[in-house]
A = this chain, B = another copy of it.
Amino acid sequence: MNFRILAKVLGLLLLLLSVAMSVCAVFARVDPMAVKLNATWALFTSAGVTFLAGAILILSGLGKFDRIPRREGVVIVGLGWVLSTVFGALPYMLCEPHLNWSQALFESASGFTTTGSTVISDLTLWPRGILLWRSATQWLGGIGILVLFVAVLSYLGVASKSLFRNESSFKTGEASTARIRDTALTLLKIYLGLTGLCLAGLRLLGLSWFDSVSHAMTTVSTGGFSPHNASIGHYTGWGNGWAIELWLSVFMVLCSLNFLIFAVIAAKNWNRLREEDDARWFLGITVGISLTIGLGLFADARYSIDLVEALRESWFIVVSIASTTGFGTVDYELWPAWCKALLAILMIVGGCAGSTAGGMKVGRLEIFLKSSAHEVIRAFRPNQVFRLVVNGSPVDDASRARTTSFVALYLLIMALGSVVVGILEAGHGVDLETCLGAVLATLSNIGPGFGDLGPTENFSQLREPTLAFLSGLMILGRLELFAILVLFVPAAWRRY
């Protein structure tokens, strides 16, 4: 392990965070709705501390590096999210009405991992400067995951590798620093463009600048933080509430697709677009389940609702969950059990690789389902040779094994995580559904869970160790397991 590379890159990351905190501090200072200046103080202090830590790291890591070796890259990603979470928690601890350490850590992790679960019961008690920082952490987390996906996570999985196949900059095996920089820049432009477009639309639909910026940042990052207690339900009563929901749902869908699709579309590369199974699957699943639930709610006598309203409700919630954003309008805890079970499946599946969405990713579902279908046929035709193709790329046995391992590991962590939550909360009367919901909500970076942690509830009822554990799960899920699990392998830390 080359610790100087680690120190330098992580130091740079902290400087970047410090700049973002400063911007929020400036807003907190000039915000006409601010009644006290404690947000300004909290944010500037946090920015100062973060800057100091960053500077020390950079100074201890001086030297020039052409490229980051793979092992260091993986470790940087893992530690990067952990450090961001720790320093990003400072403003919540310093500013009134104060969160305790575990709550602040949870809220910060929920931001940087674009999860959107919250421990804050009443957002109106918090100054807007802090709420802006809260939304900003999701926006930073969103671009972070896109860039780091290209730089590091693309090593780790099939689904990812095939994405870059036809991109000129990714024609051959491992990516060089220059190529990574090119693709990362493309992604940054797309991300900025989508944020701007989303913001402009919200502004035109009548939201304030603050609301528009906040929601644009947490929509394109599929984060799901809202400055309102009722989330998007805040606007449901508005005359154009349906238009706001529709506009947000469009961006939630777009930001669950591989962002490079937009580059492919811009280049009019229709052949490449046609091969993009992920997007087709994601759209098919989302539309199909939203129709199913909408019709089911309409048909359910106990849930008396007209057809249009049922489809509107189910479309927004299904898109919100499928894209792992987690915005809320209605309380899906009131839906029948089978609708909730479908939502739970959407939570596990998540969005497409190369997007800001969480979950285990649609591409992995494809590989695993096709692979399973082959195994069924192999039961009576053992010698038949199968060619598994996903997103236009062939998938070999080793990749199949890797992907299905991932799927199963994801589900195992879910099961064991529920046990841990149950143990940590023992004596507080949580039921199995709440435990599983807590793990699903955080590991898949959704936000709201089930049971006592449903969309109208929050996580502040949980104990300190549980919050710390769930913060870990958010980062574990966000970095697709391996980049965090690696941190626990002693061999990864050995010096050269």
Contact = CB atoms under 8 A, between A and B. Distances in A.
A336 B426 contact: yes
A432 B433 contact: yes
A121 B412 CA distance: 35
A29 interface: no
A18 to B, nearest CB: 29
A418 to B, nearest CB: 5
Contact of A336 (B412, B422, B492): B422
Given A340-B422, A376-B489, 18 more contacts: A71-B380, A156-B379, A296-B426, A337-B425, A338-B422, A341-B435, A345-B419, A368-B412, A372-B408, A375-B406, A376-B482, A380-B492, A397-B398, A400-B405, A404-B404, A407-B408, A411-B411, A433-B433
Interface in A400-418: 400-402, 404-409, 411-412, 415-416, 418
Contacts of A489: 376-377, 380
Contacts of A431: 337, 433
A486 B380 contact: yes
28 contacts: A70-B380, A74-B379, A75-B380, A296-B423, A302-B427, A337-B432, A338-B422, A340-B432, A341-B419, A341-B422, A341-B435, A344-B432, A345-B415, A368-B409, A368-B412, A375-B406, A376-B481, A376-B482, A376-B489, A377-B491, A378-B402, A379-B486, A380-B489, A397-B398, A397-B401, A400-B401, A401-B404, A408-B411
Copies in the complex: 2
A155 interface: yes
A427 B74 CA distance: 49
Interface of A: 70-71, 74-75, 155-156, 296, 300-302, 336-342, 344-345, 348, 368-369, 371-372, 375-382, 396-398, 400-402, 404-409, 411-412, 415-416, 418-423, 425-427, 430-436, 450, 481-483, 485-486, 489, 491-492
Given A398-B397, A401-B397, A482 B422 contact: no
A382 B70 contact: yes
B405 A371 contact: yes
Contact of A337 (B369, B380, B409, B435): B435
Given A397-B398, A431-B433, A344 B376 contact: no
Given A408-B404, A433-B433, A341 B74 contact: no
A209 to B, nearest CB: 41
A450 B435 CA distance: 15
Contacts of A408: 368, 372, 404, 407-408, 411
Given A401-B371, A405-B371, A405-B404, A376 B345 contact: no
A372 B285 CA distance: 28
Nearest to A480: B379
Nearest to A344: B415
Contacts of A301: 427
B415 A341 contact: yes
A379 B482 contact: yes
Nearest to A420: B338
A344 B418 CA distance: 11
Contacts of A416: 345
Which of A368, A404, A427, A483 has the largest number of chain B CB atoms within 10 A?
Answer: A404
A372 B405 contact: yes
B419 A382 contact: no
A227 B382 CA distance: 43
A483 B376 CA distance: 8
A450 B433 CA distance: 11
A376 B406 CA distance: 10
